[in-house]
Amino acid sequence: MRTYSLICGNLNEINEFVEQHHLTAEKHVLIQLFTCFADEQFIQNIRNIIIEQIPQAIIMNTPIDKVQKNEAVIANNVMITCTVFSDVSQISTILSLSEKDEMNPFLTLSNSIYKSLQDIEAFYEKKAEEKIACLAYFDAETGLPNRLHFTNQVEDFVQRFSKKKKYHKLAVLFIDLDRFKMINDTVGHYAGDIILKQLAKRIQGLLPKKSFLARFSGDKFTILITEDVEVEKIADLGQTLLHDIARPIMYEAREFFLTGSIGVSFYPNDGITTELLFKHADTAMNLAKQQGGNKMKFYSTEMNQQVLYRLELEGYLRKALEKNEFHICFQPLIDLSSGEVYGSEALIRWEHPKLGLVSPGEFIPLAEETGLIHEIGKWVLKEACQENKKWHDMGYDYLTISVNVSADQFQQISFIDVVKEVLEATGLPPQFLTLELTEGVMLRNISHSVIVMKELQKLGVKVSIDDFGTGYSSLSYLKDLPINTLKIDRSFINNLKVNTTDIAIVKAIITMGHGLAVKVVAEGVETDEQIELLKELQCHYAQGFYIDRPMKSEEFEKGLAKLKAL
Query: Does residue 64 or residue 286 have the better pLDDT?
Result: 286
Of 94-108, 335-349, 455-469, least confident by mean pLDDT is 94-108
* Parallel, antiparallel or unpaired: strands 519-523 and 220-225: unpaired
pLDDT at 240 over 90: yes
Confidence label for 408 from pLDDT (cuts 50, 70 and 90): confident
> Residues 6 or more apart from 279 whose CB is under 8 A from it?
271
Most confident stretch, 1-10, 51-60, 101-110, 469-478: 51-60
- CA-to-CA distance for 566 and 184, rounded, in angstroms? 49
The predicted model gives 375-394 an average pLDDT of 95
Q: Express each pLDDT in 435-450 by its tens digit.
A: 998 876 776 667 788 8
Query: Does residue 526 or residue 69 have the better pLDDT?
Result: 526
pLDDT of the residue at 127 = 61
Of 64-68, 338-342, 370-374, 407-411, least confident by mean pLDDT is 64-68
Answer positive or negative: Cα dihedral of 524, 535, 521, 555.
Answer: positive
Q: Express each pLDDT in 357-368 by its tens digit.
A: 999 988 998 898
- CA-to-CA distance for 34 and 70, rounded, in angstroms? 9
pLDDT at 105 over 60: no
Return the closest-CA partner of residue 403 out of 434, 443, 440.
434
pLDDT of the residue at 138 = 82
pLDDT at 121 over 70: no
Query: Does residue 419 or residue 468 have the better pLDDT?
Result: 419
Confidence label for 72 from pLDDT (cuts 50, 70 and 90): very low
Most confident stretch, 106-110, 127-131, 331-335, 362-366: 331-335
Query: Does residue 476 or residue 45 have the better pLDDT?
Result: 45
Helix (H) or strand (E) holding 405: none
The predicted model gives 25-39 an average pLDDT of 66
How much is the mean pLDDT over the chain? 82
Helix (H) or strand (E) holding 443: helix 439-444
Phi, psi of 524 (to 5 degrees): 85, 25
Helix (H) or strand (E) holding 445: none
Return the closest-CA partner of residue 223 out of 190, 200, 189, 252.
200
pLDDT of the residue at 365 = 86
Return the closest-CA partner of residue 488 out of 544, 442, 527.
544
pLDDT of the residue at 505 = 86
Instruction: Kindly report each contact of residues 196-204 with a partner whose C-beta sits within 8 Å and lies 24 or more positions away, as own/partner.
Output: 196/141, 196/142, 197/141, 197/142, 198/249, 199/245, 199/249, 199/258, 200/142, 200/144, 202/244, 202/245, 202/247, 203/175, 203/241, 203/244, 203/245, 204/144
Amino acid at 543: Q
Helix, strand, or coil (residue 368): helix
Phi, psi of 416 (to 5 degrees): -60, -40
Helix, strand, or coil (residue 209): coil
> Cis bond leading into 430, ω under 30°?
no
Helix (H) or strand (E) holding 314: helix 301-320
Neighbours of 212 (CB within 10 A): 17
Confidence label for 481 from pLDDT (cuts 50, 70 and 90): confident
The predicted model gives 14-34 an average pLDDT of 67
- CA-to-CA distance for 293 and 273, rounded, in angstroms? 27
Helix, strand, or coil (residue 540): coil
What secondary structure letter does DSSP report for 260?
A: E
pLDDT of the residue at 523 = 92
Q: Express each pLDDT in 326-357 by its tens digit.
A: 999 999 999 999 989 999 999 999 999 988 99
Cα distances from 78 to residues 10, 13, 41, in angstroms, run 9, 11, 13
pTM check: above 0.75:
no
Q: Express each pLDDT in 136-193 by its tens digit.
A: 778 878 888 889 889 999 999 999 888 876 778 999 999 999 878 777 776 777 788 8
The share of the chain scoring above pLDDT 70, in percent, equals 79
